[in-house]
Amino acid sequence: MSENQRIARLQTEIAGLKKAIALLATMPDARFPLEEELATKERELAALTDAAGSAGRTHSQQIGEHAQVGTAIAGDVHGDVSSVQQSGGVNFGSGNTIEQIGDIVAGDKTVNEGPKVYGNITSGRDVNIATNQTINNAVDNTGAQGVFHAPVTINYGSSQPAASVRELTVDEQIAQQQQRLMALRGQLADLLLQEAKFGSAYAPSYVTSGMREARANIQRTKQTLRDLGATVNDHPDDTSR
């Protein structure tokens, strides 16, 4: 049987199946196997039709002059074929939808408006800013850091009132100086132990100079206490023997 005869037979069978399915419109269970058979035969007919059409078609193209063809053509074409060539840049092909694309710069670019930054700027090294800057800081007085090549205006927010410092009472000042005197005498005692360990004639310079400084501070602290009206007892180690 030739291909044309097979195609004619399939077309007749498909037509008969469609009529039978129409008569069984209210009987889905009886209609279902006929619909499957119809789908199979329609696929078979489509395959035969495509094969027969492809085998019987040939095409020739004649390209003259200095034409350059960069378009692959598949299937039947009726009419002129236009091919648009692209020079440079990025070729995205055809049929593509590009929702958004950034700047593609192959050379110098002139920007008439500087970038707008909303929020903090964090950099692992120096930040170079080459335009006039206005820094509004309404919270604290944090300074601008980085390398600036133009004037920088810093607008600080309302300054917070300085915390009031309460002046110490005389008794509190005396207690503070007494603690200082105790600490200085403890420091001197440690240095005297080191002097005894090495021997006064062989004590390192840091021991002897430390002892002199500690004793001078002790004398000043004792005098401060006496000026405040406190009674201060002298200790034998407060002065060198």
Q: Which pLDDT band holds residue 97 (cuts at 50, 70, 90)? A: low
pLDDT at 211: 95
Q: Are residues 149 and 130 in contact, defined by beta-carbon separation less than 8 angstroms?
A: yes
Which pLDDT belongs to residue 2?
Answer: 82
Q: Please give the pLDDT value at position 165.
A: 80
Name the residue with higher pLDDT: 41 or 152. 41
In this predicted structure, the answer to whether residue 239 has a pLDDT above a threshold of 70 is yes
Q: For 144-197, write each residue's pLDDT tens digit.
A: 555 555 565 655 555 555 567 889 999 999 999 999 999 999 999 999 999 999
Question: What local confidence, expressed as pLDDT, does residue 19 receive?
Answer: 84
pLDDT given at position 236? 93
Three-state SS letters, the chain: CCHHHHHHHHHHHHHHHHHHHHHCCCCHHHHHHHHHHHHHHHHHHHHHHHHHHHHCCCCCCCCCCCCCCCCCCCCCCCCCCCCCCCCCCCCCCCCCCCCCCCCCCCCCCCCCCCCCCCCCCCCCCCCEECCCEEEEECCCCCCCCCEECCCEEEEECCCCCCCCCCCCCHHHHHHHHHHHHHHHHHHHHHHHHHHHHHCCCCCCHHHHHHHHHHHHHHHHHHHHHHHCCCCCCCCHHHCCC
The whole-number pLDDT of residue 58 equals 54
**What pLDDT, on a 0 to 100 scale, did the predictor assign at position 185?**
96
Going by pLDDT thresholds of 50, 70 and 90, the confidence category of residue 66 is: low
Query: pLDDT by residue (tens digit) across 126-135?
Result: 555 555 555 5
- Distance CA(146)–CA(129), nearest Å, equals 8
Report percent pLDDT > 70 for the chain. Answer: 54
Out of 98-112, 201-215, 223-237, least confident range: 98-112
Residue 33: pLDDT over 80? yes
pLDDT of amino acid 163: 62
Residue 235 scores a pLDDT above 90: yes
Give residue 138's pLDDT: 46
Better-predicted residue by pLDDT, 164 or 206: 206
Torsion of CA 174, 176, 178, 182, to 10 degrees: 180
Pairing type for strands 152-156 and 133-137 reads: parallel
Decide which of 44 and 112 is more confident: 44
Closest CA to 123 of 138, 148, 142, 145: 145
User: Average model confidence (pLDDT) for the chain?
Assistant: 74
Evaluate if residue 213 carries a pLDDT over 70: yes
Q: Mean pLDDT lowest for which of 21-25, 49-53, 230-234? A: 49-53
